[in-house]
Amino acid sequence: MRSPFWQKRIPRNIALKKLDDPAEWRKIPILDKDTLRALSDTQFYREFCHAKHDGIAEYWRSGGVTGQPLFYPRSFKDIEVGLESFARTFDCAGAGRGERAHVSFPLGIHPVGQVYARCATSRGITVNWAGSGTSTPSALQLELIQRLKPTLWLGMSSYALHLANLAEAKGVDLSKLGIKHVMCSAEPVSQAKRDKIERSWGAKLTDNFGMTEAGMMGSEDVPGAGFRIWTDLYCVEVLDPKTLEPAKEGEVGTLVVTALQTNNVTPFLRWSSGDLVTYSEAKEEARGKKAGPFSVFPRIKHAHRTAGFFKVRGINLGHQDLEDFMFRHLEIGDFRAEALTENLLDHLHLSIEVRRGSNPAEVAKRIEVQVKEKFELTPRVVVLETGTLAKEFEANVKAARFVDRRG
């Protein structure tokens, strides 16, 4: 209610002392991306943000949902809580005191890399602030991993694949370097991508979930089962996308988030993130042998329905489906898919890198036939020298693995 923006939006008849009543809570309007996009820079800072807090400690860059990214002010209390929320993901991964971490998340104005590096201290973890390939070239990153022998690697899943492919091109076996844990965030991790990364690195992959509007919200404690959400720090709702009524447990719904302790400047009340997820309560597993310290928290699992697709010659080709298909082939090191137009006809162009010991021509032909069988579309398959795509991807924060070049 300190925010002029919310003073206009919150109904006058709301009972502020009864917000633990779901019916009362749902009187608060949902805040979506279109509403935020309609605010000018000046309106955001003067009308949306709070004026009373314990001081601005730093700014966190938004994910760009407003067209031009905003920079969210974070108070000193926000940072204190934010560091703890990130540090919990080390606990879920099984990484603790005495570990050595190589952080390959970007270290620029986006917070994830620098917050991870800073919070490692609270768990007694040594850190090499490497950053992404734009700040520390991938070849140097591989050299540092060999020299400093980290037990933990943190970065985007696409960059984990790129480093693995570059390592193979240089004759370096990542799985023999002693890394026990790979921690990823910010990109979907399919089972096929998880399997490939774990094979290449010889390590367990733990995926983590957060958003700049709130903070690091949760982590896997069982691979692929979904994220345990820190509900002492974040209120999450999963709503039917059409009615905005609560979805039933296990049903796909849209995720709505309210940060309970990191909203001291930016009141993202009932923020609709655009994620489609399922929700499950903590159950009897909390009492079982395999229960971990975070088993009391509920899980959300991404439905991955917002993934992009190509429409080529009338066929919808899902990016996630194609990625899963490609990475299930052990002979494939990396790939890129492009939609092209030649002589007024659309084509699917697949550039692949083949692992050493495989016959490139045979692999290319097999991929061509199997893509035709599975997706009813015959691709043009080109074999690249190992490491080519890693070099092209290196300058990007996220891999441009799917490119539509049809103008």
> For position 222, what pLDDT does the model report?
87
Rounded to 10°, the helix 191-201/319-327 angle is 40
Provide block-wise average pLDDT over 10 residues at a time, the chain (407 residues): 92 92 94 87 92 90 62 95 96 95 90 94 96 89 96 91 88 94 87 90 96 94 91 96 92 95 94 89 61 86 67 78 90 91 82 92 95 90 87 64 80
- The alpha carbon of residue 406 and the mean position of all alpha carbons in its chain are separated, in whole angstroms, by 28
Which distant-in-sequence residues (6+ apart) come within 8 Å of 351 by Cβ? 335, 336, 338, 382, 384, 388, 389
The model scores a pTM over 0.85: no
In angstroms, the Cα distances linking 360 to 204, 326, 352, 377 are: 29, 15, 9, 21
Terminal C-alpha separation, the chain:
47
Measured CA to CA, the distance from residue 7 to residue 3 in angstroms comes to 6
> For position 399, what pLDDT does the model report?
60
Report DSSP state, residue 31. Answer: B
Measured CA to CA, the distance from residue 155 to residue 181 in angstroms comes to 11
> For position 398, what pLDDT does the model report?
56
Amino acid residing at 239: L
